[in-house]
């Protein structure tokens, strides 16, 4: 058997989602921009999905812009803000953000935007006491993730939002990993923009959304027919959007049930590994973390070697978006780990379909692999 413990990378499409999508591939294949009956039916389905997604994050449906996923949403939020704003202020984010934010930051910097990466402490948290060091840069926009995709650490968004909005900055949040796992309300948090993705919440790949609060001005990245209020031109992916909407509705209904299951599975995995292995370290164990995410350092054993010796266990040595790059996690290094220490860490992320049998199999296989790798290093 194999055990899939990489739900932070992607999730399987829920059966209810698949059923909702299927008619829109063939029998209801219509273009949502067409003026005839079929087009009106398609746009009605899109607007229903927009409402479902808005309900999940506490937004107004008019504030939801459909995209191809969180990476595009992040690009639209960050690049679109600075393209539309004159004169420009600075941009602030943290060293532990997803590469979609960090690489976009590099592009903004190359365009002459004053960009700053805020350091984090050993738990991966932005330190509030350091924020005053950056106030002279007069930030126009800041971006902080709701929860880290590698460590599961949940950000103190409430205090960050209050601080930066009091200083006149727009606040964007990469909510990709948080939505569907913990309570997340854009209205409660008072954030201006948030990026989310369908395939992280048991929806299809290739569809996501940007929440953009009414009154926030963005320039589009894609020009064309003026779709999505001119912010994202291109024929709407009706099947994907319908599936995303259904996934959002399911996430709302199952949030508490999922959270309890994830925490039970995560703790079972941790207890099993600790019973079998010495010299393990849970990354950011004392932080508030996502209930499904566990990042462990196996001291004296390279993570890539562990994975090679346990091929039936699907886990990650970092973000799925950078897994093919042979470098230690930038997140863990920013938290103060050395390259060697960071290279000994594996991320486990459980999900809705994880079983106790998979957990037991993972404990046995990972423990055996760690012992083999350690023996080879002696």
Given this model, what pLDDT does residue 296 score? 98
Mode of pairing for the β-strands spanning 64-67 and 208-212: antiparallel
pLDDT digits (tens, 9 = 90+) for 283-320: 999 999 999 999 999 999 999 999 999 999 999 986 55
Rg over alpha carbons for the chain, rounded to the nearest Å, is 21
Given this model, what pLDDT does residue 324 score? 54
Q: Which comes out higher in pLDDT, residue 82 or 376?
A: 82
Given this model, what pLDDT does residue 12 score? 98
Domain 3-10+255-373 CATH assignment equals 3.30.70.1400: no
Asked if residue 139 has a cis previous peptide bond (ω within 30° of 0), the answer is: no
DSSP assignment of 159-188, as one string?
HHHHHHHHTT-EEEEE-TTTBTTB---HHH
Given this model, what pLDDT does residue 319 score? 53
* Rounded CA separation 156/146 (Å): 8
Task: Look at 18-32, 107-121, 218-232, 268-282 and tell me which has the smallest mean pLDDT.
Answer: 218-232
CATH 3.90.1150.10 range(s) for the chain read 3-10+255-373
pLDDT digits (tens, 9 = 90+) for 50-88: 999 999 999 999 999 999 999 999 999 999 999 998 768
Residue 197: beta bridge partners?
208
Annotated catalytic sites, by residue?
321
Q: What is the pTM of this model?
A: 0.94
Pick from 107, 182, 102: which is nearest to 144 by CA? 102
* Rounded CA separation 9/319 (Å): 7
* Rounded CA separation 281/298 (Å): 7
pLDDT digits (tens, 9 = 90+) for 320-362: 554 455 678 999 999 999 999 999 999 999 999 999 999 999 9
Q: Which comes out higher in pLDDT, residue 134 or 358?
A: 358
CATH 3.40.640.10 range(s) for the chain read 15-251
Residue 132 has pLDDT above 90, yes or no: no
Domain 15-251 CATH assignment equals 3.30.70.270: no
């Amino acid at each position: 058997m194999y055990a899939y413990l990489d739900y932070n990378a992607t999730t399987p499409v829920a059966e209810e989602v698949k059923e909702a999508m299927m008619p829109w591939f063939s029998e209801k294949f219509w273009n949502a921009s067409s003026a005839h009956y079929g087009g009106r039916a398609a746009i009605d389905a899109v607007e229903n999905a927009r409402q479902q997604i808005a309900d999940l994050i506490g937004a107004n449906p008019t504030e939801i812009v459909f995209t191809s996923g969180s990476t595009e949403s992040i690009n639209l939020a960050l690049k679109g803000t600075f393209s539309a704003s004159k004169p420009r202020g600075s941009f602030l984010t943290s060293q532990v953000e997803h590469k979609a934010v960090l690489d976009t930051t590099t592009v903004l910097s190359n365009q002459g935007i004053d960009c700053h990466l805020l350091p984090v402490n050993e738990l991966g948290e932005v330190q509030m006491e350091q924020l005053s060091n950056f106030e002279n840069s007069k930030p126009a926009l800041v971006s902080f993730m709701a929860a880290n995709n590698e460590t599961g650490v949940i950000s103190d968004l409430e205090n960050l939002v209050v601080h930066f909005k009091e200083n006149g900055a727009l606040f964007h949040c990469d909510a990709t990993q948080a939505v569907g796992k913990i309570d997340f309300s854009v209205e409660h948090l008072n954030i201006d923009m948030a990026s989310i993705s369908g395939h992280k919440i048991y929806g299809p790949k290739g569809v996501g959304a940007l929440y953009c609060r009414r009154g926030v001005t963005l320039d589009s990245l894609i020009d064309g027919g003026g779709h999505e209020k001119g912010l994202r031109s291109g024929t709407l992916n009706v099947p994907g959007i319908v599936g995303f909407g259904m996934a959002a509705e399911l996430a709302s209904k199952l949030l508490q049930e999922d959270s309890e299951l994830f925490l039970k599975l995560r703790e079972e995995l941790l207890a099993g590994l600790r019973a079998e292995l010495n010299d393990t370290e849970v990354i950011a164990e004392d932080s508030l973390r996502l209930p499904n995410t566990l990042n462990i350092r196996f001291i004296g054993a390279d993570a890539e070697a562990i994975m090679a010796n346990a091929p039936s266990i699907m886990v990650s040595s970092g973000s799925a978006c950078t897994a093919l790059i042979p470098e230690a996690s930038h997140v863990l290094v920013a938290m103060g780990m050395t390259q060697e220490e960071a290279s000994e860490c594996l991320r486990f992320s459980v999900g809705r379909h994880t079983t106790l049998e998979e957990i037991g199999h993972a404990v046995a296989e990972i423990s055996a692999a760690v012992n083999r790798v350690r023996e080879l290093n002696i």
